[in-house]
Amino acid sequence: MTANTTESASVTAATPLLAAIDLGSNSFHLLVAAVNHGEMRPLEVRGEKVQLAAGLRKGLLDGAAIARGLETLARFRQVLDTLTPDTVRVVGTNTLRAAKNARAFIGPAQAILGHPIEVVSGREEARLVYLGVAHSEADDDHARLVVDIGGGSTELIIGERFETRVLESLHMGCVGYQQRFFPTGAITAARFDGAYRAAYLEVLAVREDFRARGWGDCVGSSGTHIAIAEVLRAQGWSRGEITRGGLQQLRRALINCGHVDALGAIAGLKPARYSVFAAGVAIACAVFEALDIATMHASSGALREGVIYDLIGRLQHEDVRERTVNALFNRSGLPELHARRVQEVADDLFNRLRNDWKLRPEHRELLRWAAQLHEIGLTISHSQFHKHGQYIIQNADLPGFSRDQQTVLATLVRGHRRKFPGNLLASFSSADRLTLTRLCLLLRLAVAFKYVAPLDGLPNLDIHATERGYRLDFPAGWLQEHPLTQAELCEEQAYLAQAGFNIEVA
């Protein structure tokens, strides 16, 4: 099932065009937008019902679901070919988080699209959803509750203006609940109430945090809420808003229909939503009851709009990831001296080797953030602090980072000292493994120079890439004047030789 909207617009060559692809558990969405003064204007909106989550069996995606997804992306690819790489983001959500064999889809999908796929955490998905809704709603100064019922998960967010305050992602979605409670398509009171109770228990686990914070108005995003609002309006059960009473009338109507094949009797409901509608309504009823929501209005803003606005921030050097890393570092209470020095040296080394090692601007960012956080593990213990640092970064909520980016950052911090983490790199693709290896070598070398007095600066050394490492040529007498750095480099040579690298120092 495909839904397409194209707006004829006069777009000059100077107008930036951005694209976001949302690989949802129910549908895949493509949004292309023009950006003017920080605001976006949708030009191309495409959505296809893929139901990736329907192909998830015992934690594994089946071949049919993978094929459906790849066929959709092949059609999306033609649109992306007109855009530059740094203006496109592709985001994967719940099903790709849950699937043990997600790489079986992600690898071919990236090859088709020509762009990396970022699988985001549940809370990062919630942040992006809120960002999309906040930019689609009237700007006000009171707290807002946003609820997004997706195919595999439901996100709950409280925020004010464009900043989030509470974020949760619950493992309940309209596709998953359709398979669990309505597998044959039959809609009975017992099946509906079973879905309702399961969803209510999920929300119950986070209810107190949300009630304690409080909110002014309530917004529902994505297809389920839009469909509910349209049905309630068409039936005359509301004037377009979603109410608890309207949901109860809708529950009775669904049970009276008795089967998804009979949902054509419900005015305002599009056929594309028949199969998952009862599950989505059951989840909505549970959220309303558990959080004591009286009224909600549906918003057109959702994940894909949030991805576009997040991308605008990155291109305008307002990257939320920068704020995230700074906040994590500041909470650690560590002194800035070492972090800043290692960052400066790492940046210098990056500039010297980026062409030989084919490194890109996004690699510089990851290296810089790893340099800033390389000592974060000291907040736990000095012993094995590189391992503690890896654990902290891998398991922290890091807004703005995809799961893969978070893993790369954690791996770099783990690999900045002692034994080279070759076993950790084995899980990456060959191309990513090569890039990560080179970033790790740069970070380790930068750390070796952190006790060089700032006034000395990085020595006027020559560094050359070699097949299995690099060669360093120092000015005469410099190493003898810096015996600690000389010892660090000798130790580094030994560690890297064990991993098969050849570091030459002269």
Residue-number span of the structural domain to which 325 is assigned: 319-456
Residues 27 and 160 in one domain: no
Instruction: Point out which residues pair with 472 in neighbouring strands.
Output: 463, 505
256 CB-contact burial (10 Å; exposed 0-12 / middle 13-18 / buried 19+): exposed
What is the CATH classification number for the domain harbouring 252? 3.30.420.150
Residue 312 φ/ψ region, left for φ over 0, alpha for ψ in the -120 to 50 degree band, beta for the rest: alpha
In single-letter form, the type of residue at position 352 comes to R
- Structure confidence at residue 455 (pLDDT): 53
Secondary structure E strands in 206-346: 217-221, 242-243, 295-299
Q: Give a yes or no: residue 385 inside a domain.
A: yes
Q: Give a yes or no: residue 505 inside a domain.
A: no
Residues 185 and 237 in one domain: yes
DSSP state, residue 259? B
- Structure confidence at residue 92 (pLDDT): 97
- Structure confidence at residue 417 (pLDDT): 92
- In sequence order, what are the residues at sequence separation of 6 or more whose Cβ sits closer than 8 angstroms to the Cβ of residue 457? none
Residue identified by tokens 């592709």 is 90
**pLDDT tens, 269-282?**
999 999 999 999 99
Q: Give a yes or no: residue 9 inside a domain.
A: yes
Residues 288 and 349 in one domain: no
Tell me which residue of 285, 280, 279, 197 sits closest to 245, measured CA to CA. 285
Rounded distance between C-alpha atoms, residue 414 and residue 386, angstroms: 5
- In sequence order, what are the residues at sequence separation of 6 or more whose Cβ sits closer than 8 angstroms to the Cβ of residue 253? 235, 266
220 CB-contact burial (10 Å; exposed 0-12 / middle 13-18 / buried 19+): buried
84: number of CA atoms within 13 Å, CB side?
7
CB atoms within 10 A of CB 422: 15
Q: Give a yes or no: residue 174 inside a domain.
A: yes
What is the CATH classification number for the domain harbouring 74? 3.30.420.40
- Structure confidence at residue 471 (pLDDT): 93
Find out whether 333 and 379 touch, Cβ atoms under 8 Å: yes
Residues 144 and 224 in one domain: yes
Using the CB atoms, write b or e for 337-359: b if 16+ within 10 Å. ebbebbbbbbeebbebbbeebeb
Find out whether 134 and 144 touch, Cβ atoms under 8 Å: yes
Q: Decide which of 77, 99, 119 is a domain's last residue.
A: 119
Residues 414 and 338 in one domain: yes
Q: Decide which of 436, 456, 476 is a domain's last residue.
A: 456
Find out whether 224 and 280 touch, Cβ atoms under 8 Å: yes
- For 34, the enclosing helix (H) or strand (E) is strand 27-36
Tell me which residue of 253, 313, 300, 244 sits closest to 89, measured CA to CA. 313
- Structure confidence at residue 451 (pLDDT): 83
Strand 2-6 with 39-49, pairing: antiparallel
Residues 160 and 259 in one domain: yes
Residues 394 and 439 in one domain: yes
Strand 502-505 with 17-23, pairing: unpaired
- Structure confidence at residue 11 (pLDDT): 39
Residues 81 and 157 in one domain: no
Secondary structure E strands in 292-361: 295-299
Q: Decide which of 103, 119, 135 is a domain's last residue.
A: 119
Residues 188 and 285 in one domain: yes
Residues 99 and 144 in one domain: no
- In sequence order, what are the residues at sequence separation of 6 or more whose Cβ sits closer than 8 angstroms to the Cβ of residue 218? 144, 145, 146, 147, 293, 295, 296, 297
Rounded distance between C-alpha atoms, residue 8 and residue 44, angstroms: 9
Residues 204 and 165 in one domain: yes
Residues 351 and 441 in one domain: yes
What is the CATH classification number for the domain harbouring 341? 1.10.3210.10
- Structure confidence at residue 15 (pLDDT): 57
Q: Give a yes or no: residue 311 inside a domain.
A: no
- Structure confidence at residue 9 (pLDDT): 37
Tell me which residue of 325, 260, 77, 286 sits closest to 197, measured CA to CA. 286
CB atoms within 10 A of CB 148: 30
Q: Phi, psi at residue 148, to the nearest 5°?
A: -125, 110
- For 42, the enclosing helix (H) or strand (E) is strand 39-49
Which parts of the chain sit beneath pLDDT 70?
1-15, 38, 139, 453-457
In total, how many domains does the chain have? 3
Strand 27-36 with 17-23, pairing: antiparallel
CB atoms within 10 A of CB 456: 12
Find out whether 219 and 146 touch, Cβ atoms under 8 Å: yes
